[in-house]
Amino acid sequence: MAFIGGVKGALNQFRRNKEMSHRYPVTWEEFYRNARALAWKLSGGYTWKGLIAVTRGGLVPSAILAREIGVRKIDTVSIVSYGEDDKQIDPLIIKPCHVEEGGKGWLVVDDLVDTGATAKILRDMLPQAHIAAIYAKPSGKDHVDTFMTEVSQNTWIVFPWEEEI
């Protein structure tokens, strides 16, 4: 989640660091390399009707994947699973997506599968879709069809768009 500057941001960072013993900052180059590698995995033998980006985390990887695999039809689904203090909350569907055949032939993309809570909702919503994430933690990896890089459960991934400049 985004780092908010000032005292509130410092407190949030402190809370995250206490719970997550490993902070893993990802550079733009590393993220792009992992997204392209995932696209390569997803290109073999698949023809996609379209792509569904899970907002907000899946927006950036979806843009990269859509370009790499040649998909132009893109939709979004918005599921909030983190509160303002970057703590996990009960997932809340803000915006569903509406595709036919239970998502058959559609690729759903997120940046990270953590506990699998969001992926479970996606699977209920789109049982025939292929769910992919760039990063996966052990508790969540069985809830997606494809992922690129596994990290430990106690790792807090800091995406390049979350870093302050």
Return the domain boundaries, the chain: 28-154
Active site annotation includes 111: yes
Residue 160 to residue 165: CA distance in whole angstroms: 10
Given the residues 75, 85, 86, 110, select the one marked as catalytic. Answer: 110
Among 75, 90, 114, 142, the one annotated catalytic: 114
| Whether residue 85 lies in the annotated active site | no
Mean pLDDT over all residues of the chain?
87
On the question of pLDDT at 110 being above 70, the answer is yes
Average of pLDDT values for 3-24?
Answer: 52
Q: Give pTM, 2 decimals.
A: 0.83
Condensed to tens digits (0 to 9), the pLDDT of residues 120-135 reads 999 999 999 999 999 9
Q: Which of 12-21, 47-56, 67-76, 147-156 has the lowest mean pLDDT?
A: 12-21
What is the reported pLDDT for 19? 60
Torsion of CA 36, 125, 1, 69, to 10 degrees: 10
Distance CA 15, CA 61 (A): 27
How far is residue 118's CA from residue 115's CA, in Å, rounded to a whole number? Answer: 8
HEC per residue, the chain: CCCCCHHHHHHHHHHHHHHCCEEEECCHHHHHHHHHHHHHHHHCCCCCCEEEEEECCCHHHHHHHHHHHCCCCEEEEEEEEECCCCCEEEEEEEECCCCCHHHCCEEEEEEEECCCHHHHHHHHHCCCCEEEEEEECCCCHHHCCEEEEECCCCEEEECHHHCCC
Percent of the chain surpassing pLDDT 70: 87
> At 10, is the pLDDT very low, low, confident or very high (cuts 50, 70, 90)?
very low
- Alpha-carbon distance of 32 to 12, in angstroms, equals 27
Q: Which fold has domain 28-154?
A: Rossmann fold (3.40.50)
Please give the single-letter amino acid code of residue 160: P
Q: What is the pLDDT of residue 165?
A: 57
pLDDT over 70 at 9, yes or no: no
* Residue 14 banded pLDDT, cuts 50, 70, 90: very low
Catalytic residue among 75, 86, 111, 145: 111
Which pLDDT belongs to residue 86? Answer: 72
* pLDDT the model gives residue 4: 38
